[in-house]
Amino acid sequence: MPDALVARLEDVSVDFGERAVLRHCNLPIVEGAITCIIGISGAGKTTILRLLDGLLLPTSGHVYVEGRDLATLTERELNEVRRSISLAFQFSALLDSLTLGANVALPLRENTTMSEQDIQQRVRAALDAVGLAHAYDNLPAELSGGMLKRAGFARAIVTRPKLVLYDEPTTGLDPISVHLITSMIMRLRERSGGTAVVTSHDLPSIYQMADYMAMLFEGVIIAYGPSDEVRSSQNPIVQQFLAGSDVGPIPI
């Protein structure tokens, strides 16, 4: 039986003016799995996350989330779909003037009718899940870079979404924090039973967490499959990228 899909890109192209960012991309997002999207800077990885979250519509092709073509939905219907998706931004995007608890509570206060007591319970549970229960009343300026990342994760999972999108979650972190963040993404997926899509350049982190991998090159998905399958690909572009070599078809 084929794997169930939470979302998929079907023959998707995206143009920004004269520049083609994505070209005829097909990408299945398997339910309950972590799919990692790799590729050099500017390859279009973040664009795929924006497509999956409905923040961007394709120039051509289709983006399906839970079987619904996002391009055909009204704004109200699109907002309904978005409630099952969370995007953990690369730089956390916390509001400096709000405490950590208030930042994490924002999606609940803006998009639900939960009582204040229930919101606080949900926020404390989310912060506890990322090891930040003690920082409920702290301001973002009082947190380290790794803690800010984890706070962004707490805000992403507080709505208990079916699909979490992580944009470069380990960028700029020290090796200990990278390991902590990678383990946390895996643990959050296991606890929630949800699905994750991660864009990253950090190959050791990807190898640790990825169930599936997709490689983008010049706007095209040139490899996709189970992690072990992509890692053993004979495609010279994939081989060069994974080896981190300056010799090969990828221009330096």
Q: Average pLDDT across each block of 10 residues of the chain; the chain has 252 residues. List them in order.
A: 83 92 96 94 89 94 94 90 84 85 91 88 90 92 87 87 90 84 86 88 92 95 96 94 88 79
Q: CA 201 to CA 170: how far, in whole Å?
A: 9
- pLDDT tens sequence across 66-120: 999 999 999 999 988 988 898 887 667 788 899 999 999 998 998 888 899 999 9
For the domain 1-81+196-252, what is the CATH code? 3.40.50.300
Q: Which pTM does this prediction carry?
A: 0.89
The residues facing 198 across adjacent strands are 36, 166
pLDDT at 175: 87
What are the structure tokens assigned to 8, written together? 């998929």
Which DSSP state fits 52? H
Q: CA 159 to CA 107: how far, in whole Å?
A: 7
